[in-house]
Structure 1
């Protein structure tokens, strides 16, 4: 079974780009267009990882991350910000909310794939275990 990634992004073009990148690399993709929908999907489906925009309608990404990190069902899911906000203040707010990493737009495919590999450990796209004799 493929690792499941939830993309929370209100910009349709960015959401489609992320979905395509992830799908091509063997991940199962869930999508949400606002923070409230992202929180709901995360609680229902408990994905392996969440890519979260910061500026979202209904519930911003920092608030959504804080809700998820305070919920026993979702607190262990890594949340990576993918945002056009490159200000240190926004990054600090995201980290304080419990966010795990912060990537800036424009979307850097290599950086996203590296972050996924880092946070998903030995679990690759497609659910295969990486060959790691140290485990």
Structure 2
């Protein structure tokens, strides 16, 4: 069974890198360029995991993830945060607990793939 991964990333270069990692692993990859688009896709497509940048235009990745966890149809989807600013990563316990894991940019492709596999129990 192939995993479906939703990437939430507004930067094309970063999205392309992340997509290539997962497609090489045989995963189905969806992409959203904004939190709002991701919320709709998550409900519609029910991905196995979401990999999101925290710094998104409009709604940020933390707020999006909190909204996902409030909806019955998306609350069990694990979310992995990707950030270029680890010191900015939410320091409140409530914000941190809504993420299954996080990855720091620049992205190490091997560790990203391992993180997703670990979060999904693969």
User: Which category describes the TM-score, using the shorter chain as reference length?
Assistant: over 0.9
After TM superposition, the score normalised by the length of structure 2 is 0.92
Q: Deviations over 1:18-59 (max 9, x none)?
A: 111110111000000111111111111110000010010121
User: Superposition pairs for residues 44-55 of structure 1, below 5 Å?
Assistant: 44-55=44-55
Partner in structure 1 of residue 24 of structure 2:
24
User: Superposition pairs for residues 1-40 of structure 1, below 5 Å?
Assistant: 1-40=1-40
Query: Displacement, 1:92?
Result: 2.6
Rg comparison, structure with higher value: 1
Coordinate RMSD, CA, aligned = 1.3
Q: d(CA) in 2 for partners of 1:14 and 1:85?
A: 15
Partner in structure 2 of residue 82 of structure 1:
82
Partner in structure 2 of residue 133 of structure 1:
none
Structure 2 unaligned residues grouped into runs of 5+: none
Q: d(CA) in 1 for partners of 2:115 and 2:37?
A: 23
After TM superposition, the score normalised by the length of structure 1 is 0.84
